[in-house]
């Protein structure tokens, strides 16, 4: 790319919202890659040369066409809540922020269609009067966009009932705009959706997403403590298997994590494992009885109205924590980093049937440097858990060794310390993402450097 090309693009799009000041370029070019001490030194300072915020699909089309004509790299982002540098432009160019593309396109009983930049918390606020809600959302619900969740997310609150975003039926349709001189819209359904799911925006601009909706529940919150992680995990398994109790979050934590969650300190006890839970309010008493029956103690209860107020940014009682899901999944890492900047994390999946036994093994085997918190999920009719454990970082080699030993034991590892799309464990899909990139991004301009297969193909083509 040449400077004249960038200047020509800017002149062509002068009526759009464009930023090129240093603070804006830095802010819009970052995600949470700094969770990783491996990624941080390599990605610090990488940024776009222009940031563009379109407000409708016509403006998105103009940007896509201009980038194609002027051969300028294009990186698309939503809320920027990813953790692997997905939204970091490795080769400068244009950063396309889609957060203004945020309309509710259509809703019906059981499904909703939204523009890709729609914030997930705002979506649930819009659905509340209809008695519906998104099936799942990440812990970054207040910042994340639906398109970003499809392009870079996986699971979150709701996964204990509905599984992951890549499960069959979790997404109904995705509309994608191509990046070429005359951009086209392509509608993907069924397994075709996997072509752009968790693809970091390397092969098309996601413009609309249609997802199934769930009946909205009045979600009450609980914190419960247990003497050991083993006891807490056994409770988490039993609760998730209780099909008759509607639930949205089952998050189990090692006792050693408590000092990192300072806002929750009054309810975590001393040297206690703990569970962070969301349950349908009419069934909360049944949950309390299950906790007591498994030798746990409820230490914090918040009714649904108070929990909703905390989540929706409304008034909450003095001293009360924010929504409890903001202490789970990878928010646990965020809180830990505020206390100890040497902390990092890994991503592990424990297979169904063996998950509790393998957790016992892993807790003992990695005792010195890994602190487990586990998130229960239901997939293909079976209950298991995944984990984003806190790791006391020493060296990149030690992180690799932990993942290797976990894999040998039967625990799947996905490396969060790489920005390469097809070098990240189970996040690799069977979909032909490089092949779809040839169709949707024939010039190879989108988020360059994130898809190894495409780079190899391009090199071969040049020979």
pLDDT of 454:
66
pTM here is 0.95
**Residues with Cβ < 8 Å from 418, sequence gap 6 or more?**
38, 39, 84, 424
Q: What is the pLDDT of residues 238-278, one digit of tens each?
A: 999 999 999 999 999 999 999 999 999 999 999 999 999 99
β strands within 89-201, DSSP E: 94-97, 104-108, 111-115, 132-134, 173-177, 185-189
- Cβ–Cβ < 8 Å for 416, 85: no
Within 13 Å of residue 199, how many CA atoms lie on the same side as its CB?
A: 29
- In sequence order, which ranges of 193-342 are alpha helices (DSSP H)? 229-240, 284-293, 304-311, 331-339
Q: How far apart are CA 419 and CA 344, in angstroms?
A: 16
Q: From the CA atom positions of the chain, what is the Rg in Å?
A: 22
Number of alpha helices (DSSP H) and beta strands (DSSP E) in the chain: 15, 21
pLDDT of 253:
98
- Cβ–Cβ < 8 Å for 248, 216: no
Buried b (16+ CB within 10 A) or exposed e, 328-339: bbbbbbbbbbee
User: How close are the terminal C-alpha atoms of the chain, in Å?
Assistant: 21
Q: How far apart are CA 335 and CA 325, in angstroms?
A: 12
Share of the chain above pLDDT 70, in %: 95
* Edge-first strand listing for the sheet containing 18-19: 18-19, 50-52, 94-97, 74-77
Q: What is the pLDDT of residues 75-120, one digit of tens each?
A: 999 999 999 999 999 999 999 999 999 999 999 999 999 999 999 9
- Cβ–Cβ < 8 Å for 278, 329: no
Q: How many residues does the chain have?
A: 463
Q: How far apart are CA 240 and CA 7, in angstroms?
A: 56
pLDDT of 100:
98
pLDDT tens digit at each of 463 positions of the chain: 457 999 999 999 999 999 999 999 999 999 999 999 999 999 999 999 999 999 999 999 999 999 999 999 999 999 999 999 999 999 999 999 999 999 999 999 999 999 999 999 999 999 999 999 999 999 999 999 999 999 999 999 999 999 999 999 999 999 999 999 999 999 999 999 999 999 999 999 999 999 999 999 999 999 999 999 999 999 999 999 999 999 999 999 999 999 999 999 999 999 999 999 999 999 999 999 999 999 999 999 999 999 999 999 887 677 789 999 999 999 999 999 999 999 999 999 999 999 999 999 999 999 999 999 999 999 888 999 999 999 999 999 999 999 999 999 999 999 999 998 875 554 554 567 778 999 999 999 999 998 876 664 554 444 3
Q: How far apart are CA 237 and CA 377, in angstroms?
A: 9
Q: How far apart are CA 201 and CA 346, in angstroms?
A: 23
* Neighbour count for residue 340 (Cβ, 10 Å): 12
- Cβ–Cβ < 8 Å for 69, 188: no
Which has the closest alpha carbon to 135: 102, 112, 101? Answer: 112
pLDDT of 271:
96
């Amino acid at each position: 790319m040449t400077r004249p090309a960038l200047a020509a693009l800017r002149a062509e799009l002068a009526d759009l919202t464009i930023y090129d000041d240093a603070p804006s370029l830095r802010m819009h070019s970052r995600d949470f890659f700094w969770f990783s001490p491996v990624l941080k030194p390599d990605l610090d300072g990488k940024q776009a040369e222009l940031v563009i915020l379109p407000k409708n699909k016509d403006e998105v089309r103009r940007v896509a066409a201009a980038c194609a004509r002027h051969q300028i790299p294009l990186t698309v982002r939503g809320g920027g809540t990813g953790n692997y540098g997905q939204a970091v432009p490795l080769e400068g160019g244009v950063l396309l922020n889609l957060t203004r593309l945020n309309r509710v396109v259509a809703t019906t009983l059981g499904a909703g269609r939204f523009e890709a930049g729609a914030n997930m918390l705002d979506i649930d606020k819009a659905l509340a009067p209809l008695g519906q809600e998104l099936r799942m959302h990440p812990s970054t619900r207040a910042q994340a966009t639906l398109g970003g969740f499809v392009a870079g997310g996986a699971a979150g609150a709701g996964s204990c009932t509905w599984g992951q975003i890549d499960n069959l039926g979790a997404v109904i349709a995705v509309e994608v705009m191509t990046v070429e001189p005359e951009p086209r819209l392509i509608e993907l359904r069924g397994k075709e959706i996997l072509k752009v799911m968790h693809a970091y925006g390397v092969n098309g601009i996601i413009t609309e997403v249609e997802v199934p909706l769930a009946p909205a529940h009045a979600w009450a919150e609980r914190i419960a403590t247990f003497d050991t992680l083993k006891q807490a995990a056994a409770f988490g398994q039993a609760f998730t298997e209780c099909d008759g109790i509607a639930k949205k979050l089952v998050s189990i934590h090692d006792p050693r994590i408590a000092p990192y969650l300072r806002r929750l300190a009054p309810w975590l006890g001393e040297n206690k494992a703990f569970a962070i839970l969301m349950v349908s309010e009419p069934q909360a008493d049944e949950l309390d009885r299950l906790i007591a029956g498994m030798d746990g103690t409820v230490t914090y209860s918040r009714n649904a109205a108070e929990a909703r107020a905390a989540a929706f940014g409304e008034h909450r009682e003095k001293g009360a924590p924010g929504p409890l899901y903001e202490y789970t999944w990878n928010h646990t890492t965020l809180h830990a980093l505020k206390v100890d900047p040497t902390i990092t994390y890994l991503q592990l999946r424990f297979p169904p049937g063996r998950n509790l036994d393998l957790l016992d093994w892993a807790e003992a085997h990695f005792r010195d440097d890994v602190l487990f918190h586990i998130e229960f999920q239901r997939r293909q009719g079976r209950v298991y858990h995944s984990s984003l454990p806190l790791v006391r970082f020493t060296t990149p080699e030690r992180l690799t060794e932990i993942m290797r030993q976990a894999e040998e034991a039967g625990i799947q590892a996905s490396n969060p310390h790489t920005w390469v799309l097809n070098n990240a464990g189970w996040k690799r899909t069977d979909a032909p993402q490089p092949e779809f990139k040839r169709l949707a991004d024939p010039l190879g301009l989108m988020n360059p450097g994130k898809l190894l297969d495409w780079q190899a193909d391009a090199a071969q083509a040049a020979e």
